[in-house]
Structure 1
């Protein structure tokens, strides 16, 4: 079953001759949603993303956007935090918000019979969050407790140091969750200003999946987003490339094994070479049990329990990013094996069999991400946010199937390049 089939099957209309497909629906307020209608189950799933995330944190106040996202459902309009949450629970309405480097997003799931109330609560959370002092201090305390706990987590410490070294002096180099100092200094005025600037209906992407027709969706969009302003100007996030390639940095922690983060250049999702790079990454370290790194680092040498790579695509930067963990005395050996596999793959490419298996897996497994209305909505809103086109889900497997060895070599030259990695190890490696 292809992803397009999965969307169609999950959202099949009652008339078999008219299979449902994602289509744009515009509301009077100017907000457009990608819509998949399905009356099969009396549920509606909504996903939405506003441009502008943690990269918009005020100077010296990293963590502010994350705190904002966590406070949106902590009381809104006439309802304090407890009353707001009680109204959600009484109608089994699922509402959540999150923040990433480039966006604030959220999701809403509700029964059709409670749709009006659910949309009203969403509208209040977006347009009239209360930012009560008690809620701010409760969320601040939660964030600070998490930060204190993370100081002893080698994985978190390695990742934070990695991004700080990869993007020095850049918004992507700051911890999105903040620091003990920055989170302590965030004020209510900071949150109010960020809310006014970031949550504008002029920069929101929306997807709606489920038992809702086009006219009802238009009304829901107007009700949910129509009270928002267009939003303020976003701070410019300058383009950046990963810095420090070739360096090996140790974060000293007294633990028996080191947690390792490594990375090099990448290509963004909108780049024509992203799909070849995606297939290449699957062969290198993204393919779980079948990847070269898994086979060489874990299966053949027993150096680590897990090892892998992924592609990171932000608005203004991209990278090929990897992880593993091994005994302190075997860190250098593990890194040598990783470097050797990167060099071998860059020079020789994958075998024809490896390439075909990677393409078969990536196309065959894609439909698994479309087995619920919520998953479909999140997939659609991510595609919309990346500007890939409403037909991307239908085109995506064809793009992967068309990848050639020449495409792989070109993508390898652009991403893995000369093989130099920025490496951060949290622990006490003995030979690094």
Structure 2
């Protein structure tokens, strides 16, 4: 990790720079995949599965029997863990339901807003070196709570055309019945455009590699997506009360996601630097994914600041996906935080708990998008529709305001729509 000691604000952009991705080759390749799937449908999906994954697909959709069989292939401990996570995630997202509120801004005018579920949802679940069955719960459960009528899940299969049993089991817990054995940009294309087997959806959720991310961005002229995405990241703010072993574990937990993940540590105590670095080195040696984590650490940073106020200011500038406050006064800092996907407060709040089972959603904005985007919530699966109703008296009260404004904009027909009612 590169060390910065008491950096001037001029260096903040350098400190906060994410790993650069070269899209010059990716965009043309993804564009070709999208076009092929749009034109050729299932034939293109089978061709790309053969080309990229070495899989000769029979049926693209999983059968109910295949989904049900997953329960027999998992340990009782993992099934119990998934059920506990499900309960917590459901509880947190159910608490986000809002009752409709009617207001009367003027006598005779009533306005309100109601939620309607997005009817067709597509979920992408990576299934490579780290099959993200936890993401099935994070996306499938709020979709069900919101009342989405159709949920389509795409995830890559292995060469035996099998999907990881934990993904299938998690999908069953969420009531998802349509699972398709396809991955990559072609899966995004299938959900965006529809094929003979895969239904077209209205909004796509889920993480993925650079090709999946690029595909999601390119199909936005056809479907909505959850948010812009990039590699995983965490920023830890540690004061003198932080445990360097805890800090190191949190940094490595994020670094093992992928070689393009980024971890940042900001500390107010220069003496903590060597302790954290030593703990990182010791823990890294025994990680099964140590090679991946080591590459991520190559473009990660550790920064020493003068005080916590400066540390928070630098964190807001970075706008991390995950922010861990390993500080004695963590709660006192919360009002100062303006840009973060999810915040973990204190030495006993590791980010991995939020990744799996505390109840909050782990689908969060990365790459600095936390300055303007929120993480996935129940609202992500709704459309908000506004309503209004006027009585004759209400229209008469506001008529002059509307006609004056419409005519000032040169839109006479707008004015007439009010005037003709007034003459009646």
When normalised by structure 2's length, the TM-score is 0.28
Query: Rg: which structure is higher?
Result: 2
